[in-house]
Structure 1
Amino acid sequence: MAKSKSPDMTKGNITAQLLLFFFPILLGTFFQQLYNTADAVIVGQNVGKLGLAAVGGTTSTLINLFIGIFVGLSSGFSVIISQHFGAKNHRLVSECVHTAIMFSLIVGIVVSILGAIFSKTMLSYMNVPEDIMPMAIPYLQIYFLGLAPNLIYNMGAGLLRAVSDSKTPLIFLIISCFINIILDILLIKYMGMGVVGAAVATVTSQVVSAILVIVVLSRRKDALRLFIRKLHINFSELRKMVSIGTAAGMQSAMYTIANILIQASINTLGTDTIAAFTAYGKIDTLFWMTIQSLGISVTTFTGQNFGYGNKERVKKGIIHGMILSVVITGIVMLLLKLFGRSIYTLFTNDKSVLDIGTAMLNFMVVAFPTYITIEIFSGSLRGIGDSWIPMIMTASGVCVLRIRWIIVMVPKYPNIFTILWAYPLSWITTSILFIIYMFLFSKMRRWLKDNIY
């Protein structure tokens, strides 16, 4: 087996390595969000606020539920592969690669079929207004039918990042993003296909990114090389990867389920509020894609150094990750406070939607710092395979609290700000739980102190 050319995160300047790994992930996430946002922008400008509400809001939340579960599962694959890579065990890296791609293919086909069949039922349960349903149903069905390539790409990108290659997935996303935007303009603006055109454009771009990731994996000269004819399931490694990934997948699912209840509450406030919340969901991704990209960087860094057995480097990586997250969050907050309303005008010029959306954004931006600890601590804990307790804390602090808040408080005070308060309250509570766990009870603390592994 040829020696891997991927960067080795077990040595070198910590901050520099985190940033070098972070920026390609950030740019990749930006382009991933850009082709989703392009749908909303082009639909909003050419179809109107009903189309904007149809391609975002409820449909986006449902799509994120399924993709989030799988991305969470794939994070378990990335953790195990990064540990094997750090330990220089090329045979097990290869076993995990073939298992991961086969697993994503099977799951993708099953979810695509079931999602397309039950799209209308899911939308009905979420109180989607009747005037939006004729657009939302075909958009969601087409998106589900093209979900398998999305899952294959996400798994392949996770495998590359596990061995410190965050640049290649970035290139794929840039290509697929421009394909999506070009098709959006062609199908929506010039061919008048509306939200169906948006769905077709997105699915086509995802097919391209899936093909690219398979081709690159097949041409690598190291342990990550993929042989299509050798695709199989190694159940021993699959159990390890799924054990870690299931916790992350459940955590993502619980986040989204809580957000589904929030979306269902927002759906009762009218089309203007739904459209405003849809655009807000695209705008605040500037924060989420930065903080989550840094979390992925910390996970990979921790996983490789844990596999290598370097305790001091793991500890410093967490500290450097926290410092970087504070600085980055501050920059994002400033940008959104200064230019938030201007960004909203990319989606719509409807004054009512702009007023509601700007008020949402100004409220939420100041709460962003309360989430930092959750992302960095959970990322580092996941890097050493400690994922179940963080998942339980997230379920308690985020999901249960949000659901309880929506059920109890929103009926008493049915307005958008009552709904939005569910976010900062849950972030603060969960951050406190993570701080207590990390410093008093976690496997990380015991490993750093006693080297129990």
Structure 2
Amino acid sequence: MCSLFGIWQGDNLLLLLQTPENIFSDASLYLHIYILGFLFLFLYNVGTGIFTALGDSRTPLYFLIGSSLGNIALDLLFVIAFDMGVAGVAWATFLAQGIACVLALITLFFRLKKLQTTEAHQFFSFAVLGQVTKVAVPSILQQCFVSVGNLFIQGLVNSYGSAVIAGYSGAIKLNTFGVTCMTTLSNGLSSFTAQNLGAGKKDRVQEGFRAGAKMGILVSLPFVLVYFFFSEAAMGLFMKSESAEAIAAGAMFLKIVTPFYFVVSTKVMCDGVLRGGSAMLYFMTTTFTDLVLRVVLAFVFAIGFGLGSTGIWLSWPFGWSISCILSYVFYRKKPWEKRSYDTL
């Protein structure tokens, strides 16, 4: 449904985001090709979730690394060798995601066949569906909130011209790389929490959080140092032929947000425990707070205070900091101690 809607309304969405005319056709072409891979993304994430639940986080990591390297290789092939331009980049992403998805599902199929179980196989269970829905729906809503919020922010960024758009795009790639490392640790902590609660070892939850928080800080430190002190050089990795204005805009984003990576790390570790303990209402509350603050403050700082694109970048630390405080308060409430996990 998302793919069909995106193909149908893709151009209108780009217009809604105030995409500049000089890059509109390329953006439309890339979007319509990229959307075709939504099914691959969905199935891959389902497979990753099952692997993680089985205690195997390495296998999906291998497929992710292979997909990333394959994407780079296909980019070079399609763009440089075949001179396909933007379409080549889009098709490279589509193929890399598709191959990773198919290989992951094949591996998962053979892995599940080896599992020994004393219970008769059920093709479908409403009880299991109810349990999955209870956890999945809040996560789906959370992702929707994030996506919608990012659309508002992207639309505001687009209003400042192609140079700022280019700078933001490059900086976001670098930022995503750093934050993804932290969220990956958070996902591991979530699985650790769920497994220990299921085994009745609630006392290990806080031990896991402390270990995760320390690891998160260690992972954050290199990104903070590199992105803050070498922001222009880091931007140059993605923007060899871009203008000085674009590099300056992206570097400013990195200098403003990266000192708060330690805050983000603490937040996502708290969120990992909350998700693992099925405290989804708390998790949604912190995520929604972060998102609303970032969107509202981006407009207030950029337009209300006349700070321009710098005002947009400033909204990130504010949203992260306040939502981090909320996440930690909810974590300290220890909601997992107030419920039974026998039926999960």
Superposition TM-score, scaled by structure 1 size: 0.70
1:371 aligns with 2:264: yes
Partner Cα distance (2:162, 2:341) in 1: 55
Match of 2:102 in 1: 211
> CA contact under 8 A between 1:273 and 1:356: conserved in structure 2?
yes
1:393 aligns with 2:286: yes
How many equivalent pairs are there?
335
Match of 2:165 in 1: 274
Match of 1:68 in 2: none
Question: 1:233, CA displacement in angstroms?
Answer: 4.7
> CA contact under 8 A between 1:119 and 1:141: conserved in structure 2?
yes
Question: 1:137, CA displacement in angstroms?
Answer: 0.8
Partner Cα distance (2:286, 2:66) in 1: 38
Amino acid at match of 1:406: A
Amino acid at match of 1:165: D
Amino acid at match of 1:179: G
SS of residue matched to 1:177: helix
Question: 1:143, CA displacement in angstroms?
Answer: 0.8
Specify every segment of 5 or more residues in structure 2 that has no aligned partner in the other structure, as ranges.
none
Partner Cα distance (2:58, 2:94) in 1: 23
Among 187, 191, 202, the residue aligned to 1:311: 202
Specify every segment of 5 or more residues in structure 1 that has no aligned partner in the other structure, as ranges.
1-109
Question: 1:231, CA displacement in angstroms?
Answer: 10
Among 230, 236, 245, the residue aligned to 1:352: 245
Partner Cα distance (1:160, 1:374) in 2: 25
Question: 1:176, CA displacement in angstroms?
Answer: 2.4
Of 139-148 and 352-361, more deviation after overlay is shown by: 352-361
**Where does 1:30-109 land on structure 2 (aligned, <5 Å)?**
none
Question: 1:399, CA displacement in angstroms?
Answer: 2.1
Instruction: State the identity as a percent.
Output: 27
Question: 1:414, CA displacement in angstroms?
Answer: 4.5
Match of 2:28 in 1: 137
Match of 2:233 in 1: 342
Among 68, 75, 94, the residue aligned to 1:177: 68
Partner Cα distance (1:320, 1:188) in 2: 44
SS of residue matched to 1:410: helix
Amino acid at match of 2:39: A
> CA contact under 8 A between 2:44 and 2:100: conserved in structure 1?
yes
1:199-218, CA deviations, whole angstroms, 9 ceiling, x for partnerless residues?
11111111111110121112
Among 39, 44, 47, the residue aligned to 1:156: 47
Question: 1:331, CA displacement in angstroms?
Answer: 2.6
- CA 1:386 to 1:307, structure 2 compared with 1: closer, same or farther past 3 Å? same
SS of residue matched to 2:230: helix
Cα RMSD, aligned residues only:
2.2
Question: 1:232, CA displacement in angstroms?
Answer: 5.5
Among 410, 414, 437, the residue aligned to 2:302: 410
Runs of 4+ residues over 3 Å off in structure 1: 221-225, 230-235, 406-409
- CA 1:452 to 1:135, structure 2 compared with 1: closer, same or farther past 3 Å? closer
Question: 1:234, CA displacement in angstroms?
Answer: 3.2
Superposition TM-score, scaled by structure 2 size: 0.91
Match of 2:58 in 1: 167
Match of 1:444 in 2: 336
**Where does 1:110-125 land on structure 2 (aligned, <5 Å)?**
110-125=1-16
Partner Cα distance (2:315, 2:142) in 1: 17
Match of 1:295 in 2: 186
Question: 1:261, CA displacement in angstroms?
Answer: 1.4
Partner Cα distance (1:373, 1:185) in 2: 38
> CA contact under 8 A between 2:10 and 2:31: conserved in structure 1?
yes
Of 367-376 and 402-411, more deviation after overlay is shown by: 402-411
Partner Cα distance (2:44, 2:122) in 1: 16
Amino acid at match of 1:124: L
Question: 1:425, CA displacement in angstroms?
Answer: 0.7
